[in-house]
Structure 1
Amino acid sequence: MNLDELVNSIPESDLRENLSHCVGEWKQDDKDIEVLTDLIRKWHGNVWFQEADASNKFHSEFQKFKSVAIDNIGGLTLNERLYWFGLFDAWGSGNETTQNRLRSKLRANA
């Protein structure tokens, strides 16, 4: 489950739209994956799901995403990083400056 799929897995539309907005802003800025981790943790800690099971499921899916995509970022190719963080379109339509920003965001500057 990549970042976009994680956001779309939220059953409550208002919560899904709110997190989608936050993630969309993150995709546009210069902040890296550590900021994304904090952003999602803070978001989850400050919202109320109608069902505790939905909240627990989101938390579990976020932990899986974090383990694969964030904690193991160094073992991923650039294409894998773009997939996990839903940034293929931004890469493909971006100029050199945008691509350099995405490399930095995804810690792929080597």
Structure 2
Amino acid sequence: MNLDELVKKVRAVSTDPALQGVADQLVAWKDSSATADDLAATLERYIGNVWIGSKQDHDRVYAFWSAFRQSAISVIRSMTMNERIYWFSLVERFDSLQSDADRQALYRKLHAGGA
């Protein structure tokens, strides 16, 4: 499951504002300068500190997040750039890059250094 698929799964669990906030955090990350590691820290902190009305909903969302974190963030440094772009749903952003500086910023975001 890539990042966009994760967002859809989280949004489908419940209309609980806290859970919708989890999805909003994921979407906002895509347009920020935060790295994949920053995303992991932010989501862990957010899910751990926000009141989610249902333990079952919390557990489902945390299971989705944990699966994504394990399959994408934990192994990001062993992925090709194309894999990183796919897993983090950044194909459109990559395709619209206008400058080398923009490209370098995306590489840093995805822990590819100046690749």
- 8 Å contact kept, 2:36–2:73: yes
Q: Which residue of 2 aligns with 1:9?
A: 9
Q: Which residue of 1 aligns with 2:102?
A: 98
Unaligned runs of 5+ in 1: none
**How does the TM-score come out when normalised to structure 1?**
0.84
Alignment of 1:24-63 (within 5 A): 24-63=27-66
Following TM superposition, the consecutive aligned residue runs of length 4 or more in structure 1 with deviations greater than 6 angstroms are none
Secondary structure of 1:68's counterpart equals: helix
Residues 21 and 98 (structure 1), Cα distance of their counterparts in 2 relative to 1, 3 Å cut: farther
Unaligned runs of 5+ in 2: none
How many residue pairs align between the two structures? Answer: 110
Q: Which residue of 2 aligns with 1:84?
A: 87
CA distance in 2, matches of 1:60, 1:5: 14
CA distance in 2, matches of 1:40, 1:67: 13
- 8 Å contact kept, 1:26–1:36: yes
Computed over aligned residues only, the root mean square deviation of the Cα atoms, in angstroms, reads: 1.8
Identical positions, percent: 29
